[in-house]
Amino acid sequence: MPEVLRLERITKKYHLRGGFFGREGRTFYALKDINLSLAADEILGVLGESGCGKSTLAKVALGLEWPEEGRVLIDGQDFWTLSQKERQKLRQKIQIVFQDPYASLNPRKKVYDLLAEPLIIHKLCPASAIRDRVVAMLEKVGLSETDLAKYPHQFSGGQRQRIALARALILSPKALVLDEPTSALDVSVQAQILELLLHFKKNLKLAYLFISHDLPLVLFLSNRVVVMYLGRIVELCPSQNFYQVPHHPYTEMLLESVPEPDPERRKKRKKIYGEPPDPAKIKTGCAFFNRCPEAVSLCKEKEPPLKKIAAGHAIACHRR
Ligand SMILES: Nc1ncnc2c1ncn2[C@@H]1O[C@H](COP(=O)(O)OP(=O)(O)OP(=O)(O)O)[C@@H](O)[C@H]1O
Ligand SMILES: [Mg+2]
């Protein structure tokens, strides 16, 4: 399968937020040495706690954030070596749907304008054909022509997410980055949106980078899963057999935190250790060191590389 997206040795640093003057001058790795590829027709899940860099990864993948180090290849083209015009064109191929359609859709624009805008910006179809194309796309996501003149606030959360999806798909991309696309929605609505996503995946032969902190959901949808911790990839694992194979201690911790209805099995669970540390304080060693029940002195001294332990399965841990 050809790749639609490839991230090579990506590093992105941010200044720490907060502090008396807004910035303390300290930096941390929002992404550190990230290597990742997304095959056409694949769903790759990205899993990790709040603040681990999932949205930063999404922004880098879309060419919205410039990484200090590494290469971003979109559909085989090295994004940051291109001219601005070429980059703009390449951006069509990978689109995003955000978690919160309230924030991602301009409240002052009517549905027609929200969907026509990408076509106009990218000069993708003659002016006379725009309306037909907008209506056709709207119908594909389960809305209709009568919705064209409405504003985002006139829709429910689920309908708004359908509009966001239509806006992303109207450019006929090869891949979508889905950044927690259903976590702001009610469970019943969540299921409808997921069904729609799977429908488009199959019919339009799309690849998805599916970002979520919901482990069961990610496993259900994805072919492979990437587990992130403080800007690092700590594990890459095929979703099949996920419950049967050994994992990074952090992934094990995520597995432990999935609600377990069986009280007997619940009793056998290990406890969850602490919170992520201040990312700026990690200088050497494994980023998970202070929370890891299996840490030894080597873990404090040397950052473990991601190493292959089975076909398609890699773990960054000295103890695995
Ligand atoms: N523009 C920025 N400047 C400084 N720090 C930032 C910036 N954007 C994000 N961060 C910080 O980088 C880290 C990673 O943020 P990111 O939004 O990628 O996390 P996330 O995994 O998407 O979290 P969540 O699950 O809460 O959405 C966080 O500590 C965040 O506060
Ligand atoms: Mg995020």
Q: What's the 3-state SS for the chain?
A: CCEEEEEEEEEEEEEEECCCCCEEEEEEEEEEEEEEEEECCCEEEEECCCCCCHHHHHHHHCCCCCCCEEEEEECCEEHHHCCHHHHHHHHCCEEEECCCHHHHCCCCCCHHHHHHHHHHHCCCCCHHHHHHHHHHHHHHCCCCHHHCCCCHHHCCHHHHHHHHHHHHHCCCCCEEEEECCCCCCCHHHHHHHHHHHHHHHHHCCCEEEEEECCHHHHHHHCCEEEEEECCEEEEEEECCCCCCCCCCHHHHHHHHCCCCCCHHHHHCCCCCCCCCCCHHHCCCCCCCHHHCCCCCHHHHHCCCCCEEEECCEEECCCCC
Q: Is the pLDDT of residue 20 over 80?
A: no
**Does residue 168 sit within a domain?**
yes
Ligand 1 proximity of 19 Cβ (cutoff 6 Å): no
What does residue 216 show for φ and ψ, rounded to 5 degrees?
-60, -40
- Ligand 1 pocket test: pick from 13, 52, 56 the residue with the most ligand atoms within 8 Å of its Cβ: 56
Task: Clarify whether residues 13 and 153 are in a common domain.
Answer: no
Cβ burial of 233 (10 Å; 0-12, 13-18, 19+) is buried
Average pLDDT over residues 220-226: 96
Q: Whose CA is nearest to atom 3 of ligand 1?
A: 14
User: Whole domain around residue 207: which residue ranges?
Assistant: 3-93+173-315
pLDDT at 18: 63
Average pLDDT over residues 65-75: 96
Q: Ligand 2 centre from 109 Cα, in Å?
A: 25
**Does residue 121 sit within a domain?**
yes
Average pLDDT over residues 69-91: 96
**Does residue 75 sit within a domain?**
yes
pLDDT at 205: 92
| 276 or 225, greater pLDDT | 225
Domain end (from 116, 150, 172): 172
pLDDT at 24: 54
Q: Into how many domains does the chain fold?
A: 2
pLDDT at 261: 67
pLDDT at 4: 97
Task: Clarify whether residues 216 and 270 are in a common domain.
Answer: yes
Task: Clarify whether residues 207 and 58 are in a common domain.
Answer: yes
Task: Clarify whether residues 241 and 304 are in a common domain.
Answer: yes
The mean of the pLDDT values for the chain is 90
Structure confidence by residue, pLDDT tens digits, 229-269: 999 999 999 999 899 999 999 999 999 887 776 777 666 66
Q: Ligand 2 centre from 104 Cα, in Å?
A: 13
Ligand 1 proximity of 17 Cβ (cutoff 6 Å): yes
pLDDT at 104: 82
For the CA of 99, the nearest atom of ligand 1: 27
Q: Ligand 1 centre from 286 Cα, in Å?
A: 20
**Does residue 99 sit within a domain?**
no
Q: Whose CA is nearest to atom 4 of ligand 1?
A: 14
Task: Clarify whether residues 85 and 64 are in a common domain.
Answer: yes
d(CA 11, CA 6): 14
Task: Clarify whether residues 245 and 306 are in a common domain.
Answer: yes
Query: Any idea which of 80-94, 172-186, 269-283 has the lowest mean pLDDT?
Result: 269-283
Ligand 1 proximity of 53 Cβ (cutoff 6 Å): yes
CA-closest candidate to residue 116, choices 128, 132, 134, 129: 134
Cβ burial of 232 (10 Å; 0-12, 13-18, 19+) is buried
Q: For the chain, what percent of residues have pLDDT higher than 70?
A: 93
Q: Is the pLDDT of residue 19 over 70?
A: no
Q: Ligand 2 centre from 212 Cα, in Å?
A: 8
How confident is residue 134, by pLDDT bands cut at 50, 70 and 90?
very high
Task: Clarify whether residues 201 and 277 are in a common domain.
Answer: yes
**Does residue 17 sit within a domain?**
yes
Q: Give the CATH number of the domain where residue 38 resides.
A: 3.40.50.300
d(CA 261, CA 227): 24
pLDDT at 284: 86
Domain end (from 153, 172, 191): 172
Average pLDDT over residues 281-289: 86
Q: Ligand 1 centre from 47 Cα, in Å?
A: 14
d(CA 175, CA 196): 15
**Does residue 320 sit within a domain?**
no
